[in-house]
Amino acid sequence: MIRKRQKLLLKKLSAVLLVMAMVISSVSCGKGKAEDYSSKQLATEAFDIADSGDYRYTGNTAKQLTEQDIQNMNNGNAIIVYDDNHQYVTTIIGKFYEEKVTDNENALLSLNGVASLLGFTKGQEFFAVYRETNSEGYTHYTYQQRYGGITIAYSTLRIFVDPEGYVCALQNSFVPELGIENPKSMTNAEAEAIIKQILDNNELSVNIYSEYTKQVFYYDYDHIVNCMVVYTDNPFMTASFDMPYMAFYVDIDNQQNIAHIPTSNFEVGNGNIDEYNTAQYFEQLEPKTWSGTVKLYNGQTEQITVPVGYNPNDGLYYLADKDRNIACSDYWSFVYKNRKVLFVTSENNQDWDNEFLLAYYNYIRVYDYFAGRGLKSIDGFGMPILLGVDYCDKEGNPIDNCAYMGRLTGWAFFAAQSYANYKNQTIDLICHEYTHGIRDCSMGSSIYMNELGAIHEAFSDVIGQLVEYELGATTDTQWNLGENSGDIWRNMANPNMYNQPGYVGDLYYVAPTKVDDDTVNDHGGVHVNASLMSAVCYKLSLYGMSNADQLNVWYNVLEVMTPRGDYDDLYASIVFSLGVYGLSQYAPAVTTIFDELGLSGDRIANASNATKAGCGRVRIHVSDKYKDYAIAVHFFTNAGLHVKAYPDERDSVIECLLPAGRIDQVAVIIRYDPSEGYYRTALGPDGSFFAAQEDAAAITITEGQTLDLGTIE
């Protein structure tokens, strides 16, 4: 079985609120022009240029600041976030360098005094990705980490500088204290052969994208592994996926796969994407428009006008916008025919498909909203957008979903319309997917599991909902998601309505798991637990914060976060972003909300101690034999209640809240390996977890009590 291990970083906040009003710029979000900064060179007293061309830290050349030093520099108002062992700093909100920062060289020098706090060691290498200065003068520098010229997966550092030229924040996903020496190498073919053998053994037939195979370092728990990364289609992809590809990490020393992480891209930078020159598709088009009536899911109609392109070379009209570089194309051809772009065309500019028009029209509305904020396309550099219409599986069956599919052959590609639903008609869901693309480009990569994945999903829910409100695209006031498609996905005000938790440990809460399996545990509940961050947004509205102000704050927070940023980093980023927009009066509310939701401190302990009126708790232990398998326990009632629970990553105990009363069936699903599918069983009358499902026994939950059901063994 292919397994992924991912440690959940539980961090501690070392300081209270930052109440200073500070303003920053975010990657590709300001009104100023973002600059590719990777070609800049630097040689300073503390940094030099490695043979690889990367910046290299040569050692501490300045006094190493303590936490108290930083607090003194900020009148006690700094926020400093540490890792789970309270050894290394992941976020600093506040000043940590006395000199002005005017360029990339000064930005790196600002790290001298905090190098020890960040876990820098001599020889640490990294490269500048880009910087941006917005129209108000705030600058943001972004770096990625390398070792021996090899990039470390999910390792990003960001430095923020205010208009006066002083550093005001830092967020860090760099791996501390690197210890690898003289790493071995492996050929691309050797790495791909290992993954192909695993796929073949498990009877999985997916594409391997050989052009993206490369050597990387992977941060596995508390140590670095020298790996090859091999990208494939996601073999565990379901109709509810957002990550269509899988990154397999092959340990070079042991020549075996050690991890797989779902991803929406192949971690290629702007330079590589630009090589495809997809913008050239639009150059020969003459701008035209189409105006007419479209029919909505509820039978109502709407008058719309959309841009189209006329191609004098073939006499056809294209459902394409030359100004925005957005085009509609057949989904099946692009996905299953080696990225073949089959544009949607018309001979007379009249016979357009109603659903294609609505998807195109609504994506343009979302595009224009972000363009109005200074973000051109999902990357800020105007990457062409391809809208895949008639979203379907390989056999042509419609898929009941919509999705951001990643940055593919120069396109930001979306599964934008399916005949199985009307999700193309609702701004919140379209903006949800668009925000996935923005976060994808901003962070370069993200860990799509447990609370990190839930934060990733929540950004899309929050910003999608707020943009829909700001555009006046809904009459809903209940914080529903998807209501204009006739099929509500989630409710941010009352998450339990759609099987999501309202706080850590609540009914439906998914504890972080160590075994990643989309079809068994939703990557550790990334869609289910998305309600936790969404609840922060909703509760801030109850404190009186407007939707427009929330959009500014959350948009900024999205761009501050780095790939390993968890809820503690999120808290610091929210408080920081409140200061950005002069909204620091809401900072105490954020602290209260995080405490109420159980997002502060040890979230595993918070979940274990959570209570709910009318509910009791059930506990199941997992024997050593099954600790490395994907396990799901399903609790059913004849009234339609369905609660899922999974082994906790820390001690492999399954715990959850359940409503008091009769639970009619306790079903267990164990995934041994993909070739065997799932082993389905049930809790029987004798207390065994291996009874036939038709012989399942009922259990009774008592309010306020914990029922121990024994051990899966």
**Among 103-107, 429-433, 461-465, which stretch is predicted with the lowest mean pLDDT?**
103-107
Mean pLDDT comparison of 233-247, 522-536, 669-683, highest-scoring range: 522-536
pLDDT digits (tens, 9 = 90+) for 42-71: 555 678 877 777 888 888 767 899 999 999
Instruction: Determine the angle formed by the axes of helices 530-542 and 450-470, rounding to 10 degrees.
Output: 40
Q: Which strand (E) or helix (H) includes residue 405?
A: strand 403-408
The widest CA-to-CA distance across the chain, in whole angstroms, is: 76
CA–CA separation, 99 and 466 (whole Å): 38
Long-range contacts of 330-336 (CB under 8 A, 24+ apart): 330/388, 330/389, 330/390, 331/388, 331/389, 331/390, 331/391, 331/392, 331/415, 332/390, 332/392, 332/394, 332/396, 334/386, 334/388, 334/408, 334/413, 335/388, 335/405, 336/394
> How confident is the model at residue 374, as a pLDDT?
87
Radius of gyration of the chain (CA): 25
* Cβ–Cβ < 8 Å for 619, 706: yes
Chain center to CA of 502 = 20
* Cβ–Cβ < 8 Å for 636, 664: yes
pLDDT digits (tens, 9 = 90+) for 638-659: 999 999 998 988 778 999 999 9
Q: Which strand (E) or helix (H) includes residue 605?
A: helix 603-609
Start-to-end CA span in the chain (Å): 19
Q: Which strand (E) or helix (H) includes residue 228?
A: strand 223-233
CA–CA separation, 479 and 23 (whole Å): 29
Q: What is the DSSP string of 245-303?
A: EEEEEEETTTTEEEEEEEESS----HHHHHTT-GGGGGTTPEEEEEEEEEE-TTS-EEE
Q: What is the DSSP string of 288-354?
A: EEEEEEEE-TTS-EEEEEEEEEEETTTTEEESEETTTTEEEEEHHHHHHTTT---B-EESSS----H
Q: What band does 7 get if pLDDT is binned at 50, 70 and 90?
A: very low
More confident residue, 374 or 332: 332
pLDDT digits (tens, 9 = 90+) for 479-508: 999 999 999 999 999 999 999 999 999 999
Give the CA distances from residue 624 to residues 391, 540, 653, in Å, rounded to whole numbers and listed in that order.
Answer: 42, 43, 11
Q: Is residue 241 predicted with pLDDT exceeding 70?
A: no
Neighbouring C-beta atoms of residue 85, cutoff 10 Å: 11
pLDDT digits (tens, 9 = 90+) for 577-593: 999 889 999 999 999 99
* Cβ–Cβ < 8 Å for 58, 69: no
pLDDT digits (tens, 9 = 90+) for 518-542: 778 888 899 999 999 999 999 999 9
* Cβ–Cβ < 8 Å for 382, 376: yes
Order the strands of the 706-712 sheet from edge to edge.
Answer: 653-659, 615-622, 706-712
**Counts for the chain of helices (H) and strands (E), in that order:** 15, 33
DSSP state of 689: S
The pTM (predicted TM-score) of the whole model is 0.87
